[in-house]
């Protein structure tokens, strides 16, 4: 992206009639990917002068997205915004990005011949999300490159072969994040504290490992789940000796990595009967399967319906806001 120091990446000019069904989802998708959007619902506050706010948005945005629709063509406010963007183009900035929404080339030609000559995106066969990606390609190629990398990562995962590798053959990846946010450091500290009796490593060791992960939040979430399952099971069976707790930890890791049944049985020989099944149930649930009675230390034997924990994520994460996983997956599904 060229080096512009404006407040917003893009200004969205539209008619209010198009807001709910088209412009709002488009603006939401752009914002979700980290685009700085001047859009009245995001930007205007109570007491703001409409004309002054619009003028500032026009002058402080790198690009102007014009949603050309029958309602836009018939209104004065959108035309006022369009004149402001056109004035900037006359000074040499090519900033207007038109979207045709329920209009034809002739409609645009009758409204504004210069706009009819511009390459535009037609909303007829595209969703707001797909249009957002086309816009990002132009205004934020850095984000677009990250989107392509994330899509490629998920597509590689779909056909990837899963196999076990000896620990001695695993080579550490290079440092990918020089620092981690304080919030992540706090989560890592809690993981370390929970597993101290079975995995006594220094804080430096833990942080160094996550700094080498392309997407540390996914890995931290994975280890948080490991820690939760371990802690819950140990509290359900306080009779398990300190020596045998390492077997509980080993079974949890093995379940998470789909180890064979014989390996699991060899680790469970000194644990309570049914330990493998109980740990599998705990692992498969996003919330505790066994809960305390109110104000009581007795577990109640009640299984709660729960979703499977989210998949671990992959390619490099960006702080403070990463790419929206749900939208990335929606893009992938649309291309199948």
Percent of the residues in the chain that have a pLDDT greater than 90, as a whole number: 39
- Quote the pLDDT of residue 171: 77
Q: Of 78-87, 200-209, 251-260, where does mean pLDDT reach its minimum?
A: 78-87
Residue 311 has pLDDT above 50, yes or no: no
Q: Of 51-65, 94-108, 196-210, 269-283, where does mean pLDDT reach its minimum?
A: 51-65
* Active-site residue, selected from the candidate residues 6, 17, 79, 81: 81
Distance CA 98, CA 78 (A): 13
Q: Of 47-61, 96-110, 234-248, 299-313, where does mean pLDDT reach its minimum?
A: 299-313
Residue 299 has pLDDT above 60, yes or no: no
* Known catalytic residue at 81: yes
Q: List, in order of start, the domains of the chain with CATH numbers.
A: 8-139 (3.40.50.10140), 167-300 (no CATH)
Residue 313 has pLDDT above 70, yes or no: no
- Quote the pLDDT of residue 89: 65
* Position with higher pLDDT, 79 vs 250: 250
- Quote the pLDDT of residue 271: 92
Indicate the pLDDT class of residue 207, thresholds 50, 70 and 90.
Answer: very high
Q: Of 96-105, 138-147, 276-285, 290-299, where does mean pLDDT reach its minimum?
A: 290-299
The pTM for the full model equals 0.60
Q: For 315-329, write each residue's pLDDT tens digit.
A: 667 776 678 888 888
Residue 44 has pLDDT above 60, yes or no: no
CB 97 within 8 A of CB 138: yes
> 215: burial class by Cβ within 10 Å (0-12, 13-18, 19+)?
buried
> 103: burial class by Cβ within 10 Å (0-12, 13-18, 19+)?
buried
Q: What is the largest CA-CA distance in the chain?
A: 83
- Quote the pLDDT of residue 143: 93
Indicate the pLDDT class of residue 302, thresholds 50, 70 and 90.
Answer: very low
CB 60 within 8 A of CB 7: yes
- Nearest CA to 59 out of 6, 13, 115 is that of 6
- Quote the pLDDT of residue 304: 45
């Amino acid at each position: 992206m060229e080096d512009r120091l404006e407040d917003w990446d893009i200004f969205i000019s539209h008619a209010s009639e198009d807001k709910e069904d088209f412009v709002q989802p488009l603006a939401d998708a752009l914002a979700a990917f980290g685009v700085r959007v001047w859009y009245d619902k995001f930007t205007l506050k109570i007491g703001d002068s409409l004309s002054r706010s619009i003028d500032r948005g026009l002058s402080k945005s790198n690009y102007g997205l014009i949603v050309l629709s029958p309602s836009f063509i018939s209104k004065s406010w959108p035309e006022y915004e369009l004149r402001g963007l056109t004035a900037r183009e006359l000074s040499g900035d090519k900033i207007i990005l038109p979207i045709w929404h329920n209009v034809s080339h002739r409609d645009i030609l009758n409204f504004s011949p210069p706009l009819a000559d511009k390459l535009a995106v037609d909303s007829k066969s595209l969703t707001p999300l797909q249009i957002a990606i086309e816009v990002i390609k132009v205004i934020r190629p850095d984000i677009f490159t990250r989107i392509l990398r994330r899509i490629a990562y998920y597509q590689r995962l779909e056909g990837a072969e899963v196999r076990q590798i000896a620990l001695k053959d695993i080579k550490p990846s290079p440092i990918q994040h020089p620092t981690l946010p304080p919030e992540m450091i706090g989560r890592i500290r809690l993981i370390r504290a929970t597993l101290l009796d079975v995995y006594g490593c220094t804080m430096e060791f833990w942080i160094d490992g996550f700094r080498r992960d392309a997407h540390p939040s996914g890995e931290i979430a994975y280890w948080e789940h490991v820690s939760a399952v371990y802690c819950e099971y140990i509290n359900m069976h306080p009779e398990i000796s300190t020596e045998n707790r390492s077997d509980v930890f080993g079974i949890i890791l093995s379940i998470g990595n789909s180890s064979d049944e014989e390996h699991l049985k060899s680790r469970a020989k000194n644990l309570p009967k049914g330990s493998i099944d109980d740990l599998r149930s705990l692992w498969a649930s996003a919330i505790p399967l066994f809960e305390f009675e109110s104000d009581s230390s007795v577990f109640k034997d009640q299984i709660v319906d729960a979703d499977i924990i989210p998949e671990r994520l992959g390619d490099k994460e960006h702080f403070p806001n990463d790419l929206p996983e749900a939208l990335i997956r929606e893009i992938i599904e649309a291309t199948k």
